[in-house]
Structure formats: C-alpha cells, structure tokens
C-alpha cells in the first residue's frame, strides 16, 4: 500500500540521472538545426574583428571558404551571407546589388565550387547598397518607396539564384515583395529556388551590432526603419504578415529577433503550420557574450539554453552567430 503521506507521482524521479534526463527530454537541438551567418568583404586574406560582436569577423571570400569548410565538417548544413559594401559602390538606386560579379554573387559561386552541397541563403535587401542605409529606395523625405524597391529586390533575388543561391531571403519588409520575387524566379526558370520570407521582422534596437558589422551604423541619420519593420508591441500583425507571404509563395518564414519573440514563433508554428526559422540576432548574441565576460554566467550554458528555447518555441532552424561553437559541443 502506498503511504498516503507521499505522492504517487514524483516528477523528480526522471531528473535524478543524466541518462534519464536525456531520455525524457522533449526538445533536442542538433547541429543541422543551426545556420551560420557570415559577413563577407572585399579583398584578400581578411579577417577583421567586430568590436560589438566578440568572436565574429568580417571575412574576405578566400577566408570565408575556410569557415564554410569548418561549418560543413560540423554538420552545419547552411550559411547565410551578408555583404560589407565599399562606400564608393553605394548609390541612391543600389545598382551594385544587381552586379552579377558583385560580392555576394562571387561568394556564392566560390562556396558552391568548393562545397556544392552546402546550402546558401542570401539576404535580399538594399540597405548594404544604398546611400540612405534604408532597405529600399527613398524619396526626398527619406520615405522608403515600396513598389520601386520591390522591382529591384526581385532582380536582386534573381541574380542570387543565377549565382547558385539555394534560398533567397527577403528581409526588407516591403509589401508584395514575395509575390514579385516568386514570379520573377518562375519566369526565369528558377522555380526550385526557395524563398525564406522575413515575415515577422520587428523594428528592434537589437540590430545595432549587425549594422556595426556592415559598417552602416549612423547611416540612417534621424530616420528609422519603423516605417516598414513591425512594431514590437504587435503579435496579431505577425500572423497577418505570415499569411500574406504564404499566399505570395514563401516556402519558409522568419521571425526576427528571436528570444524576445518566443510567443510569436510559437503562435506562427501552431496556427500556420509552416516551417518557421528564428534569427538569434546580433544584440542577443552580444548581450550573452558581454554578460558572460562580466561573470554573470557561463557562456556555454547560456548559449545552449537560448538556442534550445528557440527550438522549443517552434523554430525549425536558427540563425545564430554561436553556430560553430554550439555545433562543436553538440557533436561531442
């Protein structure tokens, strides 16, 4: 007879051993859940530190190939490429974004030549290429012009597909851009190129180190991206955005930032039944790095906890600057 003084169910029984905790763990993080963002710059043999992103670097294409090979060896299946464009190549109409021999296009070709089975995801947005620092073409009041921008984004996406990109990822938050990109790809016989739509990209302060990495800090001046990125107070709007992008032909959707928006990730995953990716953005990464440097916690513990929490919320894959370090631990 069970003594009535004690509970029949003791939740701690499965927690007492490492093996039993592992057996009942609900969420498993694997190295192939991780996508490594990489910053690529012009030049040769370049590996530049980024003050606000400890452990993250700007690489020239020759050095990107070494990092890509390391990622491949750690079972990281995809890279996300972001360009640092020289100031003399920036313009009001972002013409450099369409250069078939541009930095991103050349990077794609180089990686695919060395690692043909590595997935390549490219950022479709104009902010690295514009004088204004906005994700699109602006008028005299620094207002981002939607339709004029979308026309250029579609051609930018096509140029990436032609260079060998597997996934094009519009991160601009212009209305209707997924439909035009999809149609442009179809018309050019790139129907198998995937679209990862940044469907719920919030106007967040946590992108600061990313802009530092791209050398675009301060370029916006007194303007801001709230005119097209989402208000961080809104959740229903994210569902609306996702549904629109799905109707327009998106294959996967992105929530950005990640950890402060777990409710959004969870809700999209539950209601829309579509693969959801999360971006653990530069500010999230930097906060964990600097907190660990100041003795707040062990970086490895915080890194893994944050990544597992993103997956637990429903993220199928995670863009993270921790990808290499996390993969090394996960493959032990």
> Residue 274 belongs to a domain with what CATH number?
3.20.20.70
Query: pLDDT in tens for each of the 332 residues of the chain?
Result: 556 677 888 999 999 999 999 999 999 999 999 999 999 999 999 999 999 999 999 999 999 999 999 999 999 999 999 999 999 999 999 999 999 999 999 999 999 999 999 999 999 999 999 999 999 999 999 999 999 999 999 999 999 999 999 999 999 999 999 999 999 999 999 999 999 999 999 999 999 999 999 888 777 777 789 999 999 999 999 999 999 999 999 999 999 999 999 999 999 999 999 999 999 999 999 999 999 999 999 999 999 999 999 999 999 999 999 999 999 999 98
Flag whether 77 is in a domain. yes
* Residue 316 to residue 310: CA distance in whole angstroms: 9
- DSSP 3-state of 43: coil
Flag whether 98 is in a domain. yes
Q: Are 181 and 252 in contact (CB under 8 A)?
A: no
Flag whether 267 is in a domain. yes
Flag whether 14 is in a domain. no
Q: Are 52 and 212 in contact (CB under 8 A)?
A: yes
* Residue 28 to residue 34: CA distance in whole angstroms: 12
What's this model's pTM, rounded to 2 decimal places?
Answer: 0.96
Flag whether 294 is in a domain. yes
Domain, as residue range, for 222: 29-330
Flag whether 18 is in a domain. no
Look up residue 38 and give its two tokens: 């990489």
On the CB side of 234, CA atoms within 13 Å amount to 15
Flag whether 13 is in a domain. no
Flag whether 293 is in a domain. yes
Q: Active-site residues: which are they?
A: 201, 256
Please give the tally of structural domains in the chain: 1
């Amino acid at each position: 007879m069970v003594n009535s003084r004690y509970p029949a169910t003791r939740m701690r029984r499965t927690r007492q051993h490492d093996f039993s905790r592992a057996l009942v763990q609900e969420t498993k993080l694997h190295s192939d859940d991780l996508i490594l963002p990489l910053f690529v710059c012009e030049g040769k043999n370049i590996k530049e530190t980024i003050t606000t992103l400890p452990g993250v670097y700007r690489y020239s294409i020759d050095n990107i190939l070494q990092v890509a090979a390391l990622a491949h060896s750690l079972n990281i299946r995809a890279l996300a490429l972001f360009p640092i464009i020289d100031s003399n190549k920036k313009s009001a109409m972002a013409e450099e974004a369409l250069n078939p021999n541009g930095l991103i296009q050349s990077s794609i070709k180089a990686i695919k030549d060395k690692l043909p089975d590595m997935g390549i995801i490219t950022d479709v947005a104009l902010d690295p290429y514009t004088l204004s620092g906005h994700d699109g073409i602006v008028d005299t009041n620094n207002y981002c012009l939607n339709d004029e921008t979308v026309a250029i984004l579609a051609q930018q996406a096509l140029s990436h597909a032609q260079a060998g990109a597997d996934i094009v990822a519009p991160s601009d938050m212009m209305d209707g851009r997924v439909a035009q990109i999809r149609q442009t790809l179809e018309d050019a016989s790139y129907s198998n190129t995937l679209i990862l739509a940044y469907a719920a990209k919030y106007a967040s302060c946590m992108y600061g180190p990313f802009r530092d990495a791209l050398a675009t800090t301060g370029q916006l001046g007194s303007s801001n991206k709230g005119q097209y990125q989402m208000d961080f107070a809104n959740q229903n709007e994210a569902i609306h955005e996702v549904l629109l992008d799905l109707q327009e032909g998106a294959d996967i959707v992105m929530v950005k930032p990640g950890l402060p928006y777990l409710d959004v990730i969870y809700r999209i995953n539950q209601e829309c039944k579509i693969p959801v990716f999360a971006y653990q953005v530069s500010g999230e990464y930097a906060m964990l790095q600097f907190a660990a440097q100041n003795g707040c916690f062990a970086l490895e513990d915080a890194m893994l906890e944050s990544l597992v929490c993103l997956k637990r919320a429903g993220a199928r894959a995670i863009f993270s600057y921790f990808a290499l370090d996390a993969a090394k631990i996960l493959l032990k």
